[in-house]
Structure 1
């Protein structure tokens, strides 16, 4: 079974900054062994399948039969020394950890599905889409009101505004796995997001990319300032040939678009955006075949 065709934006926070009860669970997860980022999608997929196949089944992965959290989270870990930093950025102390937050993320996805899916589809998945499942998912989402999930995900494509957070020159390519990712210091990611939002708002108004940049910036502000941020192509690399990876200049193009918008050069903005749209449309179109 292939890994899910999902890309990720993750935050790794210093372990020492978590509340004691959460920190104890994360320490236990680290003792069991952290998940490698390029295995995270498969791990999430298996956890979800297990939640549906056990008896009695669980509505959400990461919870017990009675709907309460099931215990220690799966966790990813990063060494602060592996995170490039700008002059004013600090990362650490280590270890930096990213809980997968599967229960909360799954609840948010379920709430979104029940709010947006067509009635026949909702009815096929849940005989009573406005009943216990919806109430339970809403309760779990409300539990997250004082925190934030550490992982955002996107199926079949990478939201172009995410590239504004990274340094195009610091892309990491896995020799064996084919993985493509970036690691950046939180302070650098916030600074880039704020600049991109200001430029985009001035050029495009409060729409599309501007809205995503605003929401992403607000999400980043909810974490410790000495955290790290990772943009990971995840399972999307399965759709990409070696030539595709080599030809991919998405981060460079997004940063060039921001610079061009700031200078008012609309022709360059349009040309680079068209190239980006064509590159990612090839992969996004495969959703229709599935």
Structure 2
């Protein structure tokens, strides 16, 4: 995909994505995604490149739907688009599944906002129709699951468990782009990319340590949740944590110094070594740093 030069930046949202190899998709989906990848090209050619262009395209599509004269709580049908990566000659696909994710976002909206605010944003009649559509769709697609999880204003700490510092890729603003000929520099990017087998192994090891030494902790519950989600996918998939629009929120200096993955790994190593006080201190420092980021959503 050609990276668009635009003033539209991704929202303050991070994404956890799974890219499955083409061989993992049954027919006719495999042929459809193969044709899609051939027609559009990869969004990232090589593990060190971000999918910034595709993320901007997805955001523009979402903004267009919000700007419609009649707001839609969810798309009428799946958009049939995906993030595409090529690594070591293998093509990997991460479907957007926009409609499914819109249903999940609608559920989250109802959990996190007062009822009167939800009614203002999405009238009850529209929500009822959307929920009826979802019920019917789920009957027809009982095994459906999203390839993308999203989090606004923060990265959930349990997402970091799947990665190591060696998976880190940081692109400062304009590094790959060109400001000449009227083009805008490419936005900054920070992402982690790792093989599925590594992600599952790290999460399983973290979960064992947390279950044995910090049973009932929120981090242990989060590790179990994301571990179960990853088990739904092909073992030769790729797992990506993309900071997305959070890079704009953090700023260049904080982004360059961002090492949450390593800090959480150090805390778990201390926990395994029986150094509970040190582990708790590292975890609390990390949680406090992300609480400060989350608090920015209330800034004017």
Normalised-by-shorter TM-score class: 0.7 to 0.9
RMSD, aligned α-carbons: 2.3
Match of 1:190 among 200, 204, 209: 200
| Structure 1 residue 5 displacement after superposition | 0.5
| Structure 1 residue 238 displacement after superposition | 0.4
| Structure 1 residue 275 displacement after superposition | 2.2
- Are residue 44 (structure 1) and residue 58 (structure 2) matched? yes
Match of 1:132 among 129, 133, 150: 129
The 5 A counterparts of 1:111-122 are 111-122=107-118
Q: Give the unaligned 5+ runs of structure 1.
A: 62-66, 82-92
**Contact 1:161–1:254 under 8 Å retained in 2:** no
- Are residue 7 (structure 1) and residue 4 (structure 2) matched? no
| Structure 1 residue 102 displacement after superposition | 1.1
Name the CA shift for 1:143/1:208 in 2 (closer, same or farther; >3 Å).
farther
The answer for the alignment partner of 1:90 in structure 2 is none
The answer for the alignment partner of 1:153 in structure 2 is 150
- Are residue 20 (structure 1) and residue 15 (structure 2) matched? no
Give the TM-score, by structure 1 length.
0.85
Query: What is the SS of the residue equivalent to 2:267?
Result: helix
Q: Give the unaligned 5+ runs of structure 2.
A: 1-7, 45-50, 176-186
The answer for the alignment partner of 1:269 in structure 2 is 279
| Structure 1 residue 169 displacement after superposition | 2.7
Query: What is the SS of the residue equivalent to 1:148?
Result: coil
- Are residue 205 (structure 1) and residue 215 (structure 2) matched? yes
Name the CA shift for 1:267/1:207 in 2 (closer, same or farther; >3 Å).
closer
The answer for the alignment partner of 1:60 in structure 2 is 74
Comparing 261-270 and 274-283, the one that deviates more: 274-283
Name the CA shift for 1:142/1:231 in 2 (closer, same or farther; >3 Å).
farther
Match of 1:232 among 234, 242, 248: 242
The answer for the alignment partner of 2:224 in structure 1 is 214
The answer for the alignment partner of 1:87 in structure 2 is none
Comparing 124-133 and 186-195, the one that deviates more: 124-133
**Contact 2:95–2:147 under 8 Å retained in 1:** yes
Comparing 222-231 and 125-134, the one that deviates more: 125-134
Query: Normalized per residue, which structure has more helix?
Result: 1
**Contact 2:18–2:94 under 8 Å retained in 1:** yes
The answer for the alignment partner of 1:250 in structure 2 is 260
The answer for the alignment partner of 2:289 in structure 1 is 279
